[in-house]
Amino acid sequence: MFDAFGDRFNKMAGRTRFVVCRIFLHCRGDYVAPLLGVLNEAARVAIEEQGDLHLTGEELVKVCQSLLEATSYWQSAANEGDFFWKEEEAGDYVGELFTDSASRYLSQLSDFSPVDSNQPLTLPVTQNLIVMITVAYVGEVPQLETNLADIDALMSGLKTLINLHYQERLRAIQIHFSPAQLGDELSDDQVLENFPELIPL
């Protein structure tokens, strides 16, 4: 994935290195419902603030912290990414990943519609939740530029995302999740069919 010679040459030339990475994490169990609440709040803030990077970063921190508190519910994970020496190319790749994440099964953003008074108060709660986090950052971060389909590596990666926010090194943040709202259910078969890259942890 990485061209070591080209990487070293560009560093010597003093060029800025942009990295784009996407992390998939599949959680399963009772913790899904409260985590879905955290994710919907993060999406609401991102929409209201029209992509304000600092405020979206604060929500990313909350999402990562919530995921780190739920390691016993982690089932599988995957990650992908690439680095660029041109910001425009990194931006194009962010756009590609956004389109792909948004098109995943049941992963469209919740519309935050008011509750219909005629609807039952109890909605079925899915036992499966896929979280997709895409970020772009500057520099080199070994904790994210490795295979994260390992519990220890993934924990380190999520903590690193938090640090990158506080170091103000993030240039783009996207959080998608499937299903996107309470009442939608994601079955085990649908997880396998729509997220084939996932590797059991």
Q: What is the pLDDT of residue 112?
A: 36
Beta-bridge mates of residue 180: none
Per-residue pLDDT of the chain (201 residues; tens, 9 = 90+): 334 444 444 554 557 999 999 999 999 998 888 898 899 888 888 888 776 899 999 999 999 999 999 999 999 999 999 999 999 999 999 999 999 998 887 765 443 333 344 444 455 667 899 999 999 999 999 999 999 999 999 999 999 999 999 999 999 999 999 988 767 788 899 999 999 999 999
Q: Is 37 inside a domain boundary?
A: no
pTM listed for this prediction: 0.85
Q: Is 194 inside a domain boundary?
A: no
The CA-based dihedral angle spanning residues 198, 96, 109, 50, taken in that order and rounded to the nearest 10 degrees: 130
Q: Is 100 inside a domain boundary?
A: yes
Q: Is 1 inside a domain boundary?
A: no
Domain membership of residue 142 as a residue range:
18-26+50-110+123-188
Q: Is 128 inside a domain boundary?
A: yes
Q: Is 105 inside a domain boundary?
A: yes
Q: Is 8 inside a domain boundary?
A: no
CA distance readout (Å), 78 to 30, 81, 113, 175: 22, 11, 32, 15
- Total number of domains in the chain: 1
Q: Is 145 inside a domain boundary?
A: yes
